[in-house]
Structure 1
Amino acid sequence: MQTENVANYITNWLKDYANKAGVNGFVVGVSGGIDSAVTSTLCARTGMDVLCIDMPIHQAESHVSRANEHIEQLKKRFKNVRSVRVDLTPVFEEFKTEVTLEGNQTIVDLSLANTRARLRMTTLYYHAGIYKLLVAGTGNKVEDFGVGFYTKYGDGGVDLSPIADLLKSEVYQLGEFLKVPTSIMEAAPSDGLFGDARSDEAQLGASYPELEWAMAMSEAGKTIKDFKDRELEVFSIYKSFNSANKHKMVAIPVCKIPENIK
C-alpha cells in the first residue's frame, strides 16, 4: 500500500466532504484502539475542527489510559483538535434500572454491550449537532463488510467512514505513518463493550490476519470444500459471521406497496 498517498487521499476526501456538507469538522469517539486513533488523526490532518470524545462505561483502565495518551498527543500535534470526556457509566447504570435483566445471561450481556455502543452514538450526535460536526466512523473493511463486528445504530451509526475500505493490516500501516502511540499500535484489538480488556480475537475466534485471508478467499469464490484443518475453521467462522450479520451490511428492507392497492 502507498501509505502516504492513501493518508493524503483520505485527508483530502474528508475535507472535501465536510466543506460540501457545510460543516465545521468532525467528532470522533476515541476508544484507545488503532481504528479510532487513525481516524481521529486523519480528521486532524484536515485542519478543520476536530472534537475527540472519550466515553468510558466501566472501562478497562488500559483502554482509558491509551485513549487519553492518544488524545493528548493529538492535541499537541494539531491545534485544531480539542477533547471532552463524557462519563456514561451513571447513564448506563440508570438505564439498567429501567429494563428487564432476566433471562439468558449471555443474551442479556450482549444486549447491554450493544446498549453501551448506542449510548456513545447518541453522545457523538449530540455534540455533532451542537458544534455542527460530522460523526466520523472508525470501522475498517473487515469489521464493516466482512464479519459485521459492530453494533447496528451504535458504532455503525455514523455520517461517513474514512477507513472502511482498508483492511486491519492496512490501518496499522497508516497508524505507523501517522505516528499513533506505540501503546495503541501494540495493544490487542478490543471493542471494549464488556467492561474488560477481552480481545476481538477472543470474541471472534480468529485473528484479523486470518479473517482478512478468509475474506479474500470468499471474494474469490472459494467454499468450505476447498479447505481443511485451521483454514477450514477460520473460513467457517468468517462465513458464519458474514451470514448472521448481513442485515448490518445491506440497506434496510422497505415494504414496497403495489400501485394497484395504494
Structure 2
Amino acid sequence: MQTQKVIDHIVNWLKDYAEKANVKGYVLGVSGGVDSGVVSTLCAMTGLDVLLLEMPIRQKEDQSSRARDHIEDLKKRFPNVKGETVNLTPVFESFETTVQDHAEGKQSNNLALANTRSRFRMVTLYYFGQLHSLLVCGTGNKVEDFGIGFYTKYGDGGVDVSPIADLYKTEVYKLAGALDLIESIKNAIPTDGLWDAERTDEDQIGATYPELEKIQKEYGTKAVEDYEGRDKEVFMIFDRMHKASKHKMVPIPICDIPEEWRQN
C-alpha cells in the first residue's frame, strides 16, 4: 500500500468535506485503540478544529490511560487539537438501575447494555458537535463496517463521515506506523470496550482480523464448500455475522405507498 498517498488523500478528503459542509472541523471519541488513534491523527492533520473526547463508562484503566496519553500527544503536536474527558459512568449506571427491573431473566440484557454504552457516547459526540459546529467522525474500518457489522447501530455507527471505512484493519496498522502514534496505541489489542470484563475483538468474534480480511476479499466469489479447515471455520463466522448485520449496512427500509392510493 502507498501509505503516504493514502494518508494525504484522507486528510484532504476530510478537509474538503468539512469546508463544503461549512463546519469548523471534527469531533470524535478516542478509545485507546488503533482505529481512533489513526483517525484522530488524520483529523488533526487537516489543520481544522478537532475535539477529542474520552468517554469512560466503567472503563479499564489501561484503555483510559492510552486514550488520555494519545490525546495529550496530539495536543502537543497539533495546536488545533483539544481534548476532554466526559465520564459517562454515572449516566450509564442511572439508566442501568432504571431499566433493570424490566430485564430480569433476559439473556440478552448484557448485550443490550453494552450497546447502550456505545449509544450514550454517540449522543455525547453529537452534543459537542452541535455545540462547537463540528462533524462527528467515525472510526470504523472495512471489516467492521461492511464485513461483519461489528459495531452498534446508532452507536459508534452513528457518524457523519467514515474516513477509514475503505481500509482493512491491517492497512490501518500500516497507517499507524507511518503516523508516529504512541507505542501503546500502535500495539493495542483490538477491543470495543463495551464490557465490564475484558473482551478482545477476537474473543467476541472468534477470528482474527487478518483471517476475516481473507474471507471478505473472496466473499461472494466462493462458497463454504470451497474452504476447508480453519478457513472454513472463519468463512462460517464471517457469513453468519455478515447476514445477521446486513440491516446495519443498507438504508432504512421504507414502506412505499402506491401513488393511486393518495388520490381522493
TM-score range, shorter chain: over 0.9
Q: Which one-letter code corresponds to 1:104 in the other structure?
A: K
1:160-239 aligned at under 5 Å gives the runs 160-219=161-220, 221-239=221-239
1:232 is displaced (CA, Å) by 0.5
Query: Is this contact kept in 2: 1:55–1:88, CA < 8 A?
Result: yes
* Alignment correspondent of 1:255: 255
Distance apart, 1:187 and its partner CA: 1.8
Give the TM-score, by structure 1 length: 0.98
Which consecutive aligned stretches of 4+ in structure 1 deviate over 3 angstroms post-superposition?
A: none
Displacement of 1:139 in angstroms is 0.2
- Aligned equivalents of 1:103 and 1:213: distance in 2? 39
Letter in 2 for 1:208: Y
Please name the residue that 2:70 is paired with.
70
User: Offset of 1:234 from its aligned partner?
Assistant: 0.4
What amino acid does structure 2 have at the position aligned with 1:206? A
**What are the superposed Cα offsets for residues 69-96 of structure 1, whole Å, 9 maximum, x if unpaired?**
1101111110000011100000001111
Unpaired segments of 5 or more residues in structure 2?
none
Letter matched to residue 71 of structure 2: I
Query: Shift of the alpha carbon at 1:101?
Result: 2.8
Q: Which residue of 1 aligns with 2:95?
A: 95
Aligned residue number for residue 119 of structure 2: 118
User: How far apart, in 2, do the equivalents of 1:196 and 1:50 lie?
Assistant: 31
Q: In structure 2, how many angstroms separate the alpha carbons of the residues matched to 1:177 and 1:129?
A: 32
TM-score by structure 2 length?
A: 0.97
CA contact (8 A) 1:62 1:197 kept: no
Instruction: Find the residue that maps to 1:98 and give its secondary structure.
Output: helix
Q: CA deviation at 1:60?
A: 0.9
Identify the residue that residue 86 of structure 1 maps to in structure 2: 86
Does the aligned pair in 2 maintain the 1:26–1:134 contact within 8 Å? Answer: yes
3-state SS of the aligned residue for 1:27?
A: strand
Report how far residue 62 of structure 1 moved: 1.1
- Where does residue 104 of structure 1 map in the other structure? 106
1:119-150 CA distance string (max 9 Å, x none): 00000000000000000000000000000000
Alpha-carbon separation, structure 2, partners of 1:69 and 1:195: 22
Residues 185 and 196 of structure 1, relative CA distance in 2, 3 Å threshold? farther
Residues in 2 aligned to 1:142 and 1:57: alpha-carbon distance in whole angstroms: 25
Three-state SS of the structure 1 residue aligned to 2:256 is coil
Checking the alignment, whether the CA contact within 8 Å between 1:27 and 1:133 is kept in structure 2 is: yes
Deviation, 1:97, is 1.9
Corresponding residue number in structure 2 for 1:41: 41
- Give the drift of 1:188: 1.0
Structure 1 residue 237, shift from structure 2 partner:
0.2
Q: What CA distance in whole angstroms lies between the structure 1 residues aligned with 2:148 and 2:182?
A: 27
Paired position in structure 2 for 1:26 = 26
- In structure 1, list runs of 5 or more residues that go unmatched: none
* Aligned equivalents of 2:181, 2:106: Cα separation in 1: 40
Report the CA distance between 1:195 and its aligned residue.
Answer: 2.5
Q: Displacement of 1:180 after TM fit?
A: 1.4
Select between 29-38 and 178-187 the one with higher mean Cα deviation: 178-187
The match for 1:145 is 146
Question: Aligned-pair distance for 1:235?
Answer: 0.5
- AA in 2 matched with 1:137: G
